[in-house]
Amino acid sequence: MTSETLSTTSPASPSAPSSAQSQSQTSAQAQSQTPRPATRRVVDATTRMLHWLMALSFTVAYITADGERWRLVHVTLGYTLAGLVVARLLWGLFGPRQARLSVLWRKLRGLPAWLQSLAAVRSPTGLQATWRPGQNLLMALAVALILALVLPLTLSGYAVWDEWGGEWLEEMHEFFGNTLLFVVLAHIGLIALLSVLRRKNQALPMLTGRVRGPGPDLAKSNHGWLAAAVLACVLAFWAWQWNQAPQQPAADAARWSENHRDDDD
């Protein structure tokens, strides 16, 4: 009986770990088959690349506006900003449908009617109903103003760099820079406000290009290769500007440092 018992129980012993393995494999397959939240692409990579390069160029250019030490950086980023805006306008004319300027123009066409409806508001309920369509209108207006202000900003900056005018030209350049900064801050503030009201990060699509929710992609193609080409062109321009920059002699650098120290004292 002992041998029979051993013979009958011996095949059963390896079945325990095999059943555990099968259960773990089944649970792993179930987890892998769990559907992820549906997302759709709304902003292509090229549009996002142009957006963030413009934001970076303007921010650093504004920071380096004062002082001769960083003047070449300021001028280089000003040229970069102008070139990026031209690229964005071309992308808005010949790019995919969701990135075209015609979409922006259609939104702005409703601005006069919205302002009239806003002036006719007499109750909080009416204000709430009017505010909802005005959110996208204000976003579109901020984008249009940013694109429009870059042109006089860069032209006046080029004139100041080549010393075409006097102090009045520098003041004009500073005025356009401060105006653009105000519009950019208003744009960021509006995004933050809408993120709170809608309980959704409104800046995230410009980072990832996608939003949650079912439906077809608004941006059919990501155009990642073109975004990489834009970045490569900007980096190449910066490298070229760096190599073309005049080298300051050591004596001049020491004299500039001494004068700067005297000014601080």
**87-102 pLDDT per residue, tens:** 999 999 999 988 999 9
Structure tokens at 125: 């309920």
The residue ranges of every structural domain in the chain are 46-243
Q: CB of 73 within 8 A of CB of 60? A: yes
Given this model, what pLDDT does residue 187 score?
93
pLDDT at position 16 is: 46
State the DSSP code for 241: H
% of the chain with per-residue pLDDT over 90: 42
Q: Model confidence at 217, in pLDDT bands (50, 70, 90)?
A: confident
- pLDDT over 70 at 30, yes or no: no
pLDDT of res. 53: 97
pLDDT averaged over the chain? 81
In this predicted structure, what is the pLDDT of residue 132? 75
d(CA 193, CA 98): 24
What distance, in Å, lies between the first and last C-alpha atoms of the chain? 105
pTM of structure: 0.76
What's the CA gap between 219 and 133, in Å, rounded?
Answer: 23
